[in-house]
Amino acid sequence: MNKRRWVGLIVLSVWAAFVARSLYEREIALVVGGTYEEMLKHSSARFTSPYPGGGLWPGEPKSNVQLRFTDPQYGFITPKSSDVFVVFKGNVIQNIQVSPQMEPLLLDDALKVVLDLQDQLRGGGWIDRKHKKYPPFADTPQWRAQLRDANKGGKTYWYAGDKYQAMLRMHRFKDRKRPEEERYKITLEVAKPWTPYP
């Protein structure tokens, strides 16, 4: 094998390793009630340093990430996000907020994300206990009309026994880059139950 081919193979190998590492480094793995140290141990993305002195403090990844909720029964994975926010008390995770998208989405794409998240929650044993007042999202004409109304949007609540509570929201979002398009933002919040278990 000639020298030029060897150099080409080395360059290709280095590039492939860089791409694989870049993809691998885009996950934050955590659970409400877990610690900052446990999160770092199981995550592949860098994260802000803890505040000295304890108390409540906010943290976030230093890059776009996929969020993996690591509870062995109630776990789920979100699409890659540019907006993940974690609240700690000392070194213990209290609250997780994620917008599971890289940018505001068109309605069809946003519905796919929320429906997939709901399917993951159901599959893991989460229950929509407030479904009479806050029914789960669905791809129906009624839901589409409600979501298109900028004054309404939608939200639904999910419970993992008495261990966690999740709120999944979706609403119209004015995208400055595409002001002529209907775009939507999704937010998922997970914490210890903050309203009584119905």
Q: Is residue 108 part of a domain?
A: yes
Q: Is residue 39 part of a domain?
A: no
Amino acid (one-letter) located at 11: V
Average pLDDT, integer, range 114-143: 95
Q: What is the pTM of this model?
A: 0.84
pLDDT of the residue at 51: 84
Q: Is residue 31 part of a domain?
A: no
Q: What are phi and psi of 114, to 5 degrees?
A: -70, -35
pLDDT of the residue at 175: 77
Number of domains in the chain: 1
Q: Is residue 73 part of a domain?
A: no
Q: Is residue 97 part of a domain?
A: no
Q: Is residue 175 part of a domain?
A: yes
Taking only the tens place, the pLDDT of each residue in 73-123 is: 999 999 999 999 999 999 999 999 999 999 999 999 999 999 999 999 999
Q: Is residue 68 part of a domain?
A: no
Taking only the tens place, the pLDDT of each residue in 20-33 is: 444 445 899 999 99
Q: What are phi and psi of 140, to 5 degrees?
A: -130, 160
pLDDT of the residue at 20: 46
Domain that holds residue 173: 103-198
Distance CA(147)–CA(152), nearest Å, equals: 7
Question: Following CA atoms 76, 21, 43, 109 in sequence, which dihedral angle do they give, to the nearest 10 degrees?
Answer: -30
Q: How confident is the model at residue 9 (pLDDT cuts 50, 70, 90)?
A: low
Flag whether pLDDT at 5 surpasses 70: no
Q: Is residue 80 part of a domain?
A: no
